[in-house]
A and B are shown apart, each in its own frame.
Chain A
Amino acid sequence: MTTPAIAVRGLSKRHGDHLVVDDVTFDVRSGSVTCLGGPNGAGKSSTLRLIAGLDRPNAGQVLVHGRALPSWPEPGRVLGAAFDGRAAHPGRTAIDSLRWVARLAGVPEQRCADLLHEVGLAAVARRRTRTFSLGMHRRLALAIALLPEPEVLVLDEPLNGLDPEGVAWFRSLLGDLRSRGCTVLMVSHAIADVADLVDDVVTMRDGRVNESGPAEKLWRHRDTVRVCSDDPQRLAAILQSAGGRVVRVDDDFAMHIGGLESGAITRLATAHGLTLTGRRENDA
């Protein structure tokens, strides 16, 4: 049996009286893209912080490729993390925000310019990050996480603030990382945008693991997917013609679709030039 890229064992974290992470155990397979899902306040980001070694658990442990992260001589080369989009001082330029990390990680500074090009920020390399949009901050945070070429990436809501072009870029980046054998664990509420690239799913609720397993298996058994579109009638017609059914309509823009998995809905909508403004898996 191969060693998992990330092994989370009995992880607990308490903030005062509130147990935000409660005896969480799961594995992230090496080379997989795993989505950590669940409603707000489920403990996903707290778990991610514990995995990245940025917080101290009250109990349990996290092993990255079989060892505790701090025991690796250069932990940044083993696990890279991007949290809540902002990892740069507003008074520092984009290129300098990468240069100091390059020095710290012992990476040639030339890679900073290459990475800015890769994440689509080459044109604003000399701009101070205070002028950046949320989407640009996301891209920069990803560049910082990718700089030391880590084997494992932990991403907290990487799609937040990205426009459709940014989402397309992230999809291509995720596909590229996947093909290079990089392990990715991410928390995202907009998972439908990358559903077809996700291998495994772990869902949390009230600080505990609710379910975990291959995405194909878990998502197929879901009854409905909630989708939002600015043209819901046309979307409904397209999905119905592909075998889907409208189970429920929430409002003028949101509806629940049954009979189709989230990835298929995304593909169909994209193929017909429709933008989904929000998607969410439903339990019932």
Chain B
Amino acid sequence: MNRLLASELLKLTSLRSLCLAVAAAVVAVGLLAAAVADAGRDALGPAPADPVALPMEYFAYAVMAVSALAVTSDMVHGTYRVTLGQVASPTRVLLAKLTLGAALGTLLGLAAFASVAAGALVADRDALSPTGLRDSALSVAVVPLVALLSISLGALIRQTAAALTSLMVWALGVETVLVLTLPTDVGAYLPFKTIGASRTTVGVLGPWEGIAVFAAYTAGFALLALLVQSRRDAPLR
């Protein structure tokens, strides 16, 4: 498993565009946090947005897109096939990808938080309220979870455009409509609404309960992907 993990890590780090995209996202959310904090400092009324939660939410979307892209491009360009030729266990290959996604997602979440906190504090020394800090802790936990969800969905769909479109249309479109039409106590359980629990569905799910529900969705998708992967690719033994 160590060789598989080392190999999957090298697959990711040897793609310059992927590394640059993630690095740019870390810097961009710091700048966004600074801009939001600056706007909040000058606002007469309530702050227009949370300088921590909003950039971290955007960062989660960036990680979601990059994770799906990393998995689907492995399948589209034939490198997954080469991996299977060496390992012959699609379940182990996907498990390695998920393990790496969780580890790198956590590191990226922490890096993004450091960037966001720095950006917000540079713009406004009082930008980080206790609530903001709690939200940021949640946001850091969300990053590896969305990475795992995207990897699972990417492994299921296997087509870059289809995987990205499905994720974005569901998260930004379908759920937005559904939450308006469904009763609040049902809408609060929609996957991407659970991780915005502290802001959009106050009173139904607490922030940590929301994370737990999203983690359950992620686990469900990961299990489904493992099951489908083992049936779809496994040669007869």
**Residue A132 at the chain B interface, CB threshold 8 Å:** no
Chain A hits for B11, CB < 8 A: 89, 92, 100
Q: Looking at B74, B77, B83, B85, which has the most chain A CB atoms within 10 Å of its CB?
A: B85
**Any chain A CB within 8 A of the CB of B44?**
no
What are the residues of chain B within 8 A of A103 when measuring CB–CB? 3, 6-7, 10
Q: Which of B70-127 contact A (CB under 8 A)?
A: 73-74, 77-79, 81-89
Chain A residues within 8 Å of chain B by Cβ, number:
39
Interface assignment of B17: CB less than 8 Å from any CB of chain A:
yes
Verify B14–A86 contact, CB threshold 8 A: no
Q: How far is the CB of B66 from chain A (nearest CB, A)?
A: 13
- B residues near A (Cβ < 8 Å) are 3-4, 6-8, 10-11, 14-18, 73-74, 77-79, 81-89, 232-237
Q: Which residue on chain A has the smallest CB distance to residue B73?
A: A89
Instruction: Please determine whether B233 and A90 come into contact, CB atoms closer than 8 angstroms.
Output: no
Instruction: Please report the C-alpha to C-alpha distance between residue A162 and residue B193 in the assembled complex, in whole angstroms.
Output: 54
Cα A144 to Cα B11 in complex, Å, equals: 14
In the complex, which residues 153-186 of chain A have their Cβ closer than 8 Å to any Cβ of chain B? none
Q: Could you say which residues of chain B place their CB within 8 Å of the CB of A83?
A: 78, 81
A63-114 at interface with B (beta carbon < 8 Å) = 68-72, 74-76, 79-81, 83-84, 86-93, 96-97, 99-101, 103-106
* B17 and A87 within 8 A (CB): no
Residues of A close to B3: CB separation below 8 A: 103-106
Who on chain A is nearest to B84 by CB?
A54
Shortest distance between the CB of B87 and any CB in chain A (Å): 7
Chain A residues with CB below 8 A from B84, complex form:
53-54
Set of chain B residues within 8 Å of A75, measured between Cβ atoms: 85-88
* CB < 8 Å neighbour of A100 from B7, B89, B234: B7
Select from chain B the residue with minimum beta-carbon distance to A150: B85
Hey, which chain A residues are within 8 Å of B237, CB to CB? 68, 70-71
Contact B235 A70 (CB under 8 A): yes
Residues of A within 8 A of B (CB): 52-57, 61, 68-72, 74-76, 79-81, 83-84, 86-93, 96-97, 99-101, 103-106, 144, 148
List 15 contacting pairs A-B, 8 Å CB cutoff, sorted by A: A54-B85, A55-B235, A56-B236, A68-B235, A76-B86, A84-B78, A86-B77, A86-B78, A91-B16, A96-B14, A99-B14, A101-B82, A101-B86, A103-B3, A105-B86
Whether A69 touches B82, Cβ cut-off 8 Å, given contacts A103-B10, A104-B4, is no
Residue pair A54, B81 in contact (C-beta under 8 Å): yes
11 further contact pairs, Cβ within 8 A, besides A54-B81, A89-B79, A100-B7: A55-B235, A56-B235, A61-B236, A68-B237, A74-B86, A88-B78, A89-B11, A89-B77, A100-B8, A103-B3, A104-B7
B233 partner residues in chain A, CB cutoff 8 A: 54, 56
The smallest C-beta distance from B212 to any residue of chain A, in angstroms, reads: 35
Query: How far, in whole Å, are A69 and B234 apart by their CA atoms in the complex?
Result: 11
- Residues of chain A contacted by B74 (CB below 8 angstroms): 89
Cβ distance B174 to chain A, nearest Cβ, rounded Å: 31
Given A91-B16, A106-B3: A69 touches B88 (CB 8 Å cut-off): yes
| B89 and A76 contacting across the interface, CB-CB below 8 Å | no
Beyond A87-B78, A99-B10, whether A80 also contacts B85 by CB under 8 A is yes
Q: Write out the residue numbers on chain B whose beta carbons fall within 8 Å of the beta carbon of A52.
A: 85
In contact, A104 and B81 (Cβ under 8 angstroms): no
Instruction: Tell me the minimal C-beta distance from A145 to chain B in angstroms.
Output: 8
Complex interface: chain B residues within 8 A of A79 (CB)? 85
Instruction: Specify which of A53, A81, A90, A144 is in contact with B77 (CB 8 Å cutoff).
Output: A90
Closest Cβ of chain A to B16, distance in Å, is 7
Give the residue name and chain of the A residue nearest to B18 (CB): A91
- Complex: chain A residue closest to B70, CB-CB: A89
What chain B residues lie within 8 Å of A87 (beta carbons)?
77-79, 81-82
How far does the alpha carbon of A85 sit from the alpha carbon of B53 in the complex, in Å? 46
**Is there contact, CB below 8 Å, between A104 and B235?**
no
What residues of B have a CB within 8 angstroms of the CB of A96 in the complex? 10, 14
Output the least CB separation between A9 and chain B (Å).
11
B77's closest neighbor in chain A, by CB?
A89
State A103–B11 Cα separation when bound (angstroms).
10
Report chain A residues within 8 Å CB of B86.
Answer: 74-76, 101, 104-105, 148
Residues on the A chain within 8 Å of B73, using CB: 89
- The 5 A-B pairs at the shortest CB distance, nearest first, are namely A76-B86, A104-B7, A96-B14, A53-B235, A70-B88
Closest Cβ neighbor of A50 among chain B residues: B235
